[in-house]
Amino acid sequence: MPTARSRRGDRSAAWWSMSPARPGREPPGGGKNALMDPKNAVALVTGGASGLGAATARRLAGAGARVLVVDIDEERGRALAGELGGAFARADVSDGASLGAAVDQAAALGPLRIAVACAGVGWVARTVDKTGAPHDLAVFQKVVGVNLVGTFNLLRLAASAMAKVEPHETGERGVVVQTASVAAYEGQIGQIAYAASKGGVVGMTVPAARDLAPIGVRVMTIAPGLFDTPLLGLLPAAAREALGASVVFPRRLGDPAEYAALVEHIVRNPYLNGETVRLDGALRMQPK
């Protein structure tokens, strides 16, 4: 049964929704320039030539942002940038100089306010395989280097560039969106390197948001479930259907456009900060 306080709270919410607008008063969460509009901002998307990154680049360009597509696949990256009327930079996210040049290129296009980290790699190997051999250390370092170090590399460089742009009236300068995975929580057998790298991305989210609050930069992370990306496209149709059927609802693979839609919402919603959002149709991964 609702308490007196909750009933009063309900009436308060109803008052805001039903009362006419009055000069000098704004509903909670409102206010001039409360939302960050992607229009006329520059957005940098790593891993932007395909999959989640390409969908995000398209979505942000459609919202009016000027997009810099960053990828190691130069042919596909340049083609997408041309399609969107944006620009392309070839960069390895795990390399400071390479990605730094890309961030400088983005900042030269206009106010860099949006950075989305979609570059990532995966690998399947157990900590100790069936023959007793240990996991290849170089492979583990490579996966962590791209997925975790590469994400941090973008975070630090993009935030530094955002610190130099003029803030909105709300004090916000920009937002960084990171990509983790549900494997950060329920890594499957053979996903030790991938799960560790994505768990690190989740772990960075809150301290990064706290670090960057003084300069008005928000940090959010999306943890996707099973999405219909080029990586899954390599599987047979039957295997893809089985994966989709394992999702609670809707019983299908995620559409990269759904990831991109969440990115746009995060950009526009100024109260989303320091959180990881699972985008997985209520999926909980089983051991295998």
Segment 244-258, tens digit of pLDDT: 888 999 988 899 999
Segment 44-78, tens digit of pLDDT: 999 999 999 999 999 999 999 999 999 999 999 99
Comparison of pLDDT for 71 and 169, the residue scoring more: 71
**Model pLDDT, residue 14:** 41
Model confidence at 19, pLDDT cuts 50, 70, 90, reads very low
**Model pLDDT, residue 3:** 52
pLDDT at 6 over 90: no
Q: Are 60 and 78 in contact, with CB atoms under 8 Å apart?
A: no
Contacts of 106 (CB under 8 A, 6+ apart): 42, 44, 68, 87, 89, 112, 158, 161
pLDDT at 187 over 90: no
Active-site residues: which are they?
Answer: 194
Q: How far apart are CA 166 and CA 107, in angstroms?
A: 12
Model confidence at 153, pLDDT cuts 50, 70, 90, reads very high
Phi, psi (deg, nearest 5) at residue 74: -65, -40
What domains appear along the chain, each with residue ranges and CATH number?
Answer: 35-279 (3.40.50.720)
Residue % of the chain over a pLDDT of 70: 87
Q: How far apart are CA 122 and CA 54, in angstroms?
A: 18
pLDDT at 203 over 90: yes
Dig out the tokens for 85 from the structure.
Answer: 């009327």
Segment 217-248, tens digit of pLDDT: 999 999 999 888 887 776 677 777 888 888 99
pLDDT at 13 over 70: no
Give the total residue count for the chain.
288
**Model pLDDT, residue 230:** 80
Q: How far apart are CA 38 and CA 86, in angstroms?
A: 14
Residue % of the chain over a pLDDT of 90: 73
Q: How far is CA 165 from CA 12, 26, 113, 148, in A?
A: 38, 27, 8, 26
pLDDT at 25 over 60: no
Question: Global pTM?
Answer: 0.86
pLDDT at 96 over 50: yes
